[in-house]
Amino acid sequence: MHVSNRPITIEDLERFQLVSDPQPHPGDGSILFSLKRQEPKNKAITQLHLIDRNKTIRQLTQGEKSASGGRWSPNGSTIAFVSTRTGGASQIHLLPSVGEAYALTQLAEGSISGLQWSPDGKTIAFLYRATDPNFTEAAKKHREENGLSDPPKEIDDIWYRLDGDGYFLSARYELWVVEVDSKVARKLYAASPTGDYAFSWHPDSSKLVVSHTANARPMAEAPNDQIYIVGMDGSVKQLPGLPKGEKSAPKFSPSGNLISYAGDTSEDDPWGTRNTKMYIVSAEGGEPKDILGHTDYDLNVATLSDTKEAAYGAAYEWLSETELLVQIGWKGEQQLAKLSLDGDVSFVTEGKHSVTLGGLTADKRTVGVVHGHPGMVPELGKLVLGEGLETLTSFNASWHAEVEVRLPEEHWVKTPDGTDLHFWVITPVGFDSSKQYPAVLEIHGGPHTQYGWTFFHEFQVLAAQGYVVVYSNPRGSKGYGEAHCAAIAGDWGNKDWIDVQVVRDWMKACSFIDEKRMGVMGGSYGGYMTNWVIGNCHDFAGAITDRCVSNMVSMAGNSDFPFNKDGYFKGIAWGDHEDIKELWRQSPIAYFKNVKTPTLVIHSEGDLRCNVEQGEQVFTALQQEGVPSRFVRYPFSTSHGMSRSGPADLRKHRLNEIVSWWKKYL
């Protein structure tokens, strides 16, 4: 007798085991990776694991403190990683092949990231930011013992906070190095006003290539990143001849004669609308060569999911002196491709899936990857160039064996102005095409990201509850070429709204969707569009706006990334009526006199990207207009990304609120 698998539940999010950061050993066939599990007492802990060539898995780090950022030494004998396991402050630790892990650094309380071994294995370069002395754990304890108040936050620069990172005030990341034998750590370089650096080693270990802004006021000026050669002796040389624009992820070629970087030459305020390209330049400087711009591929495409963090930024590695391996997002897929210095693009993966690039072996033949698709929570994999992709782990297999995962069907439709619009439909558990079902339209955030071929727990929960789930990549999304993405640059609520209406109309005409029981929801920019939808039509029986944008005038000044004057958005929020009229025209709250749709407002008080006041304005307007509404505020300890990386109890609470709202109104 066949027994059907059970529907997916909200509580299942505690079952997921999430792999990340695969780093193959230089030569023995094993792969180091991070694994995040939900532990008792509402804790999510990440530990380092190893899978050998026989697929035997061993946990390398233990305890109640996470360990992450694991990196092999060049000879494969030692692993460096970051943890707070000793003394409470983050430190770099070393784990030798024989023996116990020990702390390499003894830095003051702060944050550490970006570990990179020098090719000779003698030094580790990293980014370090000391915590403001008034806000260390020691200072907090002193105040508690002496009955003192929390201190004020003293701010002299617009760059003092970042969503998910909190308030760092005047503290900045700096480029540091630590000698492995002597354990001596020292600051090597600190020149960026934001403390935002990308770097990598020269093959001879004598210097690093570093990219950062050259602007004195980067939050108020057009992009102007530059590249610098920083010697271990403290010497600094700016690479001559480079244009302005964005530059990231600089790397020396294997010979050290060339430098690659990802970026763009635009001096506009692009907000990521333009394709991120690959540039090659002599290590002595000069005019860079764009080797990807003849295509419409983009190296910076984040494919959204709630079982992984949204990863922004270019991911690539040199394979040889004439070829690179790059990660490309395209039409909902995430693939790896070889890119020659002549500009030839040759994909080495294919399929309706998401492949995330990790590290490479010393011979540049085997690649560690994270591999997932709509029917599978991501797992660890490897790609042997010339042979193919293999999924190595099955951490979530027992869970998959219990549940029914509903797979999406993809659709394409033409908009009235001839745009090809890509969307997906997930039908509910027990689907019968002769019946009609309530449906939920999900709108993604960004806006310059993409939905795609990834596992999405929230979508599966809704399908398990009996809803048709529809999600799309309207104009403004990445992965469909620069024109598709740039179509809404500084002009939200126009072509994106046209595309959302096309999907809405498809839903209304769909034989198995009850057009009187349709809901719309989204987070961040998706919350913006949800607000726009309910202010401009009455076709939905309910709405959920999550971590939303509602008022462009106030958003311009209260986001961690404030708007530039006449940048991506035209207008100045602190000007007169003429200055703000474009911002107000694109503000959904300006149309809320028309709203009749019952709406749930979800927001985190600790959201520094889309300030909670954006949700407050929505709720106030709904209440004043007599529209059924509910406001759920998550604590200051949570951030913009709570639905992906927040505490499990609050993520479950959020999903229960969503399900309850749809049960009431759909």
Which active-site residues does the annotation give? Answer: 524, 640
**Do residues 650 and 8 touch, judged by C-beta distance below 8 A?**
no
**Do residues 194 and 209 touch, judged by C-beta distance below 8 A?**
no
**Do residues 372 and 391 touch, judged by C-beta distance below 8 A?**
no
Q: One-letter amino acid identity for 107?
A: L
DSSP 13: G
Q: One-letter amino acid identity for 46?
A: T
Q: What is the dihedral angle through the alpha carbons of 128, 133, 134, 136, rounded to the nearest 10 degrees? A: 60
Report cis status (omega within 30 of 0) of the bond before 447.
Answer: yes
CA 589, chain centre distance (Å)? 27
Distance in angstroms (rounded) separating the CA atoms of residues 49 and 26: 16
Rg (CA), the chain: 25
**Do residues 545 and 530 touch, judged by C-beta distance below 8 A?**
yes
Distance in angstroms (rounded) separating the CA atoms of residues 57 and 48: 11
> 637: which 2 tokens?
């300890």
Cβ neighbours for 6, distance < 8 A, ≥ 6 positions apart: 402, 403, 404
Whose CA is closest to 197, among 223, 168, 175?
175
Distance in angstroms (rounded) separating the CA atoms of residues 506 and 510: 6
DSSP 156: -
**Do residues 85 and 67 touch, judged by C-beta distance below 8 A?**
yes
Rounded to 5 degrees, φ, ψ at 287 are -85, 125
CA 466, chain centre distance (Å)? 30
**Do residues 281 and 259 touch, judged by C-beta distance below 8 A?**
yes
> 558: which 2 tokens?
């209260």
β partners of residue 479: none
CA angle 649, 652, 655 (to 5 degrees): 155
Burial label for 41, CB within 10 Å (0-12, 13-18, 19+), is: exposed
